[in-house]
């Protein structure tokens, strides 16, 4: 049976827009046009964004200028509007790639390996009277696992901190993850949302380019949302498309999330602290979350489904003071940007555990008179085998870091990467 996907999206959009809720589904680049068009018509009526969130402004490479931008009072207009968005997800779900795609440029460092982002970082876009702040966060790791892996408390607590201070939470779920594909959100994600029930949260299903069973998408969304979006039942079977087979489910799934019997948030918090592991085990049997406000299907890599999300963010900005000066593009300092970038290069090109055990440091930075930024990076290795790995890959890592930094700072950048062997190095 041939299904025209654009038509299907329109059907879904009509169904949702007809009710109180607005749930958006956009998927394939070639066929999502109908759905996108329909939705943009609705949005244009509701809000008139002054421009896109895409931010092409250069990031300053000067530490002094960055510092000055961070301490200056924001130069906001009288009727300033703001939206703080926290982007959460499991490690490697594509959070940083998603933010880069929303911004239309590679601002955040990304790699194929987990734990590329280790600190919360804002991407900032200011248009007219509206400031949109999107915060990238490290992947969520539960307390018990973090302890086993020896992760610092500061790194582990970052996503929850970001979420608790946001106006909107975006949960990025990876459609290539086995758990998500079979209709379950990870217990770490459920737990984070349970702790912050008051933050409106939307679900972004990322890596749709790799999700081949497009026809199963409505069922999958039904499972991941426990059949409810923005307080309204989501019934995929009202859409007359080919019958779909549910994935095989072995556990018993409670019909209602309230069966967790943790209605009172205070009580919940006390219990969470007391018995986090037990709750995590319990949450493993839950498929989805019935409190999402909206659902989007995107491919951050192929840049599909993002336009509607940009408009969604602009539409949800509320009157309130800006957090940053309108010239700020990120809160990360030039030094932090350089170190994030080299870290991503090491993760991308060194094998297995090696990149987690070596330590990049900026040995020298010179801002040449001709405008070129020259950066010498030492990668400290405590093992000779690590030294050899870095030595072999130093050129490709330097080249990638250089290209990334050029895109960020809009300057000519030269990066040199040198392995250094120090057996007793203490970071
Ligand atoms: N196929 C495909 N790959 C994607 C997509 N989005 C991200 N990726 C890839 O997923 C991997 C992880 O991307 P990141 O953006 O670094 O993921 P993250 O969630 O920020 O990872 P951490 O910072 O380690 O938690 C990279 O190899 C990306 O290229 C997508 O839409 N499609
Ligand atoms: Mg990241």
What residues flank ligand 1, with Cβ below 6 Å? 89, 91-97, 110-112, 114-117, 138-139, 206-207, 209-210, 299-301
User: What's the burial of 322, exposed, middle or buried (CB within 10 Å: 0-12/13-18/19+)?
Assistant: buried
User: What CATH number labels 334-421?
Assistant: 3.30.300.20
pLDDT at 254: 42
Residue 27 has pLDDT above 70, yes or no: no
How many residues are listed for the chain in this entry?
A: 427
Cβ contact 169:202 at 8 Å: yes
User: Can you tell me the mean pLDDT for 377-394?
Assistant: 98
Rounded CA-CA distance 85/291 in Å is 17
Rounded CA-CA distance 349/379 in Å is 13
Cβ contact 90:174 at 8 Å: yes
User: Can you tell me the mean pLDDT for 311-331?
Assistant: 95
Cβ contact 185:283 at 8 Å: no
User: Which ligand 1 atom lies nearest to the CA of residue 206?
Assistant: 31
Cβ contact 408:337 at 8 Å: yes
Phi/psi region, residue 69 (left: phi>0; alpha: psi -120 to 50; beta: rest), is alpha
> Which ligand minimizes its atom distance to the CA of 114?
1
pLDDT at 41: 37
> Which ligand minimizes its atom distance to the CA of 98?
1
Residue 183 has pLDDT above 80, yes or no: yes
| Residue % of the chain over a pLDDT of 70 | 79
92, 172, 186: which to mutate for ligand 1, most atoms within 8 A of CB?
92
Cβ contact 55:106 at 8 Å: no
What is the CATH T-level fold of the domain 5-50+60-319, as seen in this structure? Answer: Rossmann fold (3.40.50)
Q: Give a three-class secondary structure readout of the chain.
A: CCCCHHHHHHHHHHHHHHCCCCCCCCCCCCCCHHHHHHHHHHHHHHCCCCCCCCCCCCCCCCHHHHHHHHHCCCCCCCCCEEEEEEEEECCCCCHHHHHHHHHCCCCCCCCCCCCCCCCCEEEEEEECCEEEEEEECCCCCCHHHHHHHCCCHHHHHHHHHHHHCCCEEEEEEECCCHHHHCCCCCHHHHHHHHHCCCCCEEEEEECHHHCCCHHHHHHHHHHHCCCEECCEECCHHHCCCCCCCCCCCCCCCCCCHHHHCCCCHHHHHHHHHHCHHHHHHHHCCCCCCCCEEEEEECECCCCECCHHHHHHHHHHCEECCCCCCCCCCECCCHHHHHHHHHHHHHHHHCCCCHHHHCEEEEEEEEECCCCCEEEEEEEEECCHHHHHHHHHHHHHHHHHHHHHHHHHHCCCEEEEEEEEECCCCCC
Q: Where are the domains of the chain?
A: 5-50+60-319, 334-421
- End-to-end CA separation in angstroms for the chain: 60
Rounded CA-CA distance 163/84 in Å is 10
Q: Which residue's CA is the nearest one to ligand 1's atom 16?
A: 110
User: Can you tell me the mean pLDDT for 21-29?
Assistant: 32
User: Can you tell me the mean pLDDT for 147-167?
Assistant: 89
97, 120, 137, 140: which to mutate for ligand 1, most atoms within 8 A of CB?
97
Q: Which residue's CA is the nearest one to ligand 1's atom 26?
A: 112
From the CA of 333, how far away is ligand 2's center (Å)? 17
> Which residues sit opposite 76 in a β-bridge?
none
Mean predicted lDDT score pLDDT of the chain: 82
From the CA of 68, how far away is ligand 1's center (Å)? 32
Cβ contact 345:400 at 8 Å: yes
The C-alpha R_g of the chain, in whole angstroms, comes to 23
pTM, two decimal places = 0.83
> Which ligand minimizes its atom distance to the CA of 113?
1
Rounded CA-CA distance 47/231 in Å is 23
Half-sphere exposure of 57 (CA within 13 A, CB side): 15
237-290 pLDDT, tens digit each: 544 333 333 334 344 434 444 445 545 555 655 555 566 777 778 788 888 898
The protein residues having their C-beta less than 5 angstroms from ligand 2 (an ion) are 95-96, 116-117
Residue 148 has pLDDT above 70, yes or no: yes
Rounded CA-CA distance 232/15 in Å is 12
User: Which ligand 1 atom lies nearest to the CA of residue 298?
Assistant: 31
From the CA of 386, how far away is ligand 2's center (Å)? 24
295-305 pLDDT, tens digit each: 999 999 999 98
Half-sphere exposure of 328 (CA within 13 A, CB side): 28
Rounded CA-CA distance 134/81 in Å is 14
């Amino acid at each position: 049976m041939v299904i025209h996907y654009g038509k299907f999206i329109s059907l879904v959009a009509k169904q949702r827009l007809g009710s109180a809720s607005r749930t958006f589904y956009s998927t394939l680049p070639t066929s999502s046009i109908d759905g996108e068009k329909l939705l943009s018509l609705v949005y244009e009526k509701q809000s008139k964004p002054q421009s896109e969130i895409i931010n092409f402004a250069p990031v300053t490479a000067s530490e002094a200028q960055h510092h000055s931008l961070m301490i200056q009072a924001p130069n906001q207009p009288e009727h300033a509007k703001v939206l703080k968005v926290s982007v959460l997800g499991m490690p490697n779900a594509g959070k940083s790639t998603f933010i880069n795609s929303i911004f239309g440029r590679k601002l955040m460092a990304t790699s194929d390996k987990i734990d590329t982002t280790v600190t919360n970082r804002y991407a900032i876009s200011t248009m007219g009277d509206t400031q949109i702040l999107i915060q990238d966060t490290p992947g969520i790791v539960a307390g018990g696992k973090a302890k086993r892996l020896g992760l610092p408390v500061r790194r582990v607590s970052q996503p929850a901190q970001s979420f608790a201070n946001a106006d909107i939470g975006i949960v990025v779920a990876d459609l290539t993850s086995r758990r998500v594909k079979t209709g379950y959100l990870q217990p770490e994600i459920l737990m984070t949302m349970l702790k912050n029930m008051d933050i409106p949260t939307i679900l972004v299903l990322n890596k749709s380019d790799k999700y081949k069973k497009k026809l199963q998408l409505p069922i999958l969304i039904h499972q991941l949302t426990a059949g409810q979006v923005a307080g309204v039942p989501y019934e995929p079977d009202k859409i007359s498309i080919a019958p779909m087979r549910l994935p095989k489910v072995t556990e018993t799934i409670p019909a209602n999330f309230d069966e967790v019997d943790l209605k009172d948030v205070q009580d919940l918090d006390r219990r969470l602290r007391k018995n986090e592991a037990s709750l995590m085990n319990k949450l493993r049997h839950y498929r989805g979350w019935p409190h999402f406000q909206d659902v989007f299907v995107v491919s951050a890599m192929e840049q599909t489904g993002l336009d509607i999300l940009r408009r969604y963010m602009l539409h949800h900005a509320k009157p309130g003071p800006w957090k940053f000066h309108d010239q700020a593009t990120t809160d990360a300092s030039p030094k932090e940007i350089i170190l994030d970038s080299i870290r991503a290069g090491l993760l991308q090109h060194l094998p297995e555990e090696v990149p987690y055990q070596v330590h990049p440091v900026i040995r020298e930075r010179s801002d040449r008179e001709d405008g070129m930024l020259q950066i010498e990076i030492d990668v400290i290795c405590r093992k000779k085998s690590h030294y050899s790995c870095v030595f072999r890959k130093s050129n490709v890592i330097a080249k990638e870091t250089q290209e990334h930094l050029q895109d960020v700072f809009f300057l000519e950048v030269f990066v040199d990467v040198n392995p250094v062997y120090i057996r007793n190095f203490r970071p």
